Amino acid sequence: MKTINDNNRKIHSAAQVVDELGIAPQTLVDLASKLKCIFLIEIPDNTEVHLTWPKPRRLAADFLGPTKCSFPRANDESVIISPEIELLCLTASDCDSILQTGALRKKEFLGVARFNKNAGVIHLSSISYAQQYLMAKEVTPYLLGSFFTRIPQNVTNASNQASPAPEKSIIIRFDDIFISTENFQAILKELNNKPPSFEKLETEDWISTMLAQLNKASTHFISGELSNVEKSKLRDEIRKWFVHKWPKGGDDLLDQAVNVILPDSLYKHSPHRDTVSELVKLKYNRYASTALILINEKAETCWQIKQSSAHKKYPKRNTIKDELKDDWKFSVKLANAAATIIRPDKEK
């Protein structure tokens, strides 16, 4: 995932987040709007950001924080923001506009942000910025302030004064957007409260009939629908179900299909749960076993390989089997069964 490291804290690329979570960009933006999350972009090169206010008004002394250096222009209605500020803030509404049109031209922002090694990303409105960065002698109606992007101007005299810098609209696309870890975690929590259904996965192009049935068996037996079945009988009940679905399936295939959907605690050769990232886990139901998640992920990857190849060739069965063994430590029998289950109906 593309990240900006902030002393062990990170902000995440919105494009990569939706890709790894398997959600639409609109879903991310809608959740951000619901949770009042703030999106971020980096301040572009060759761009100054000014705090500008239209109606000068003196700050009350009670609101002023520690005196810090600011950068006045020819008048007191605009100051260049501190070089500590690295990010501009976007609302969910801004991002929604980007999704509708592909890009957004913007020069006025209601907030900025900086990194702190202890607190992570700190969002600053014009009020909080003025409290922390402006000196008492400066005049500013900070309640009405906005941050504007401008073209940098050369400062030519001892007082650091210059003509007001022309405003500069910047073009923002979805790939430019980031989200803080704090807001990201809030969105993950919201998504986790609405676990997906495997029935939805059955309609995906990359899912074979056998894999769809494997997913359905997980929901049918493990989600609680058959909670009256004793654990000692669970394996037999699942196997009977697969015998009915796959009457031509061999013993190894049937046995491994049972192993795949059993909870990790009931399958001693289950891949380690840490093999699956937290982002990937959120794409699946909570009761999905690690082996089942990995098989679905492999099926989707194989389909993407076919779609991106010049000759539209699906990976060979032995290639899939070897990669499952090498990458995720599947047993030989489990890898054999998974390679059979994964391949689309037309490839079998």
210 and 154 in a common domain? no
Half-sphere exposure of 221 (CA within 13 A, CB side): 27
Residue 323 in this model has a pLDDT that exceeds 90: yes
Lowest-confidence region among 14-23, 49-58, 187-196: 49-58
Domain hosting residue 51, numbered range: 3-192
Quote the tokens at residue 41: 């972009």
Confidence of residue 185 (pLDDT cuts 50, 70, 90): confident
Rounded mean pLDDT, 138-142:
52
Q: How confident is the model at residue 75 (pLDDT cuts 50, 70, 90)?
A: very low
Residues 244, 150 share a domain: no
SS (H, E, C) the chain: CCEEEECCEEEEEHHHHHHHHCCCHHHHHHHHHHHCCCEEEECCCCCEEEEECCCCCECCHHHCCCCCCCEECCCCCEEECCCCCCEEEECHHHHHHHHHHCCEEECEECEEEEEECCCEEEEEEHHHHHHHHCCCCCECCHHHCEEEEECCCCCCCCCCCCCCCCECCEEECHHHCEEEHHHHHHHHHHHHCCCCCHHHHCCCCCCCHHHHHHHHHHHHHHCCCCCCCCHHHHHHHHHHHHHHHCCCCCHHHHHHHHHHHCCHHHCCCCCCHHHCCHHHHCCCCCCCCHHHHHHHHHHHHHHHHHHHCCCCCCCCHHHHHHHHHHHHCCCHHHHHHHHHHHCCHHHC
| Last residue in a domain, options 192, 210, 234 | 192
Count of all residues that appear for the chain in the document = 348
Q: Phi, psi at residue 78, to the nearest 5°? A: -155, 135
Q: Give the residue-averaged pLDDT of 174-190.
A: 90
Pair 163, 226 in one domain: no
pLDDT at 6 over 80: no
Q: Is residue 167 located within the same domain as residue 42?
A: yes
160 pLDDT band, cuts 50/70/90, is: very low
Structure confidence at residue 198 (pLDDT): 57
Report whether pLDDT(157) > 60: no
Both 301 and 175 in one domain: the answer is no
The mean of the pLDDT values for the chain is 81
The tens digit of pLDDT for each residue in 93-126 reads 999 999 989 999 999 998 999 988 777 899 998 8
- Please state which of the ranges 40-54, 78-92, 275-289 shows the lowest mean pLDDT: 275-289
pLDDT greater than 60 at residue 153: yes
Domain final position from 148, 177, 192: 192
Same structural domain for residues 22 and 92? yes
- Which domain-ending residue is among 145, 160, 192? 192
Give the residue, 178 or 282, on which the prediction is more confident: 178
For residues 140 and 59, is the Cβ–Cβ distance under 8 A? Answer: yes
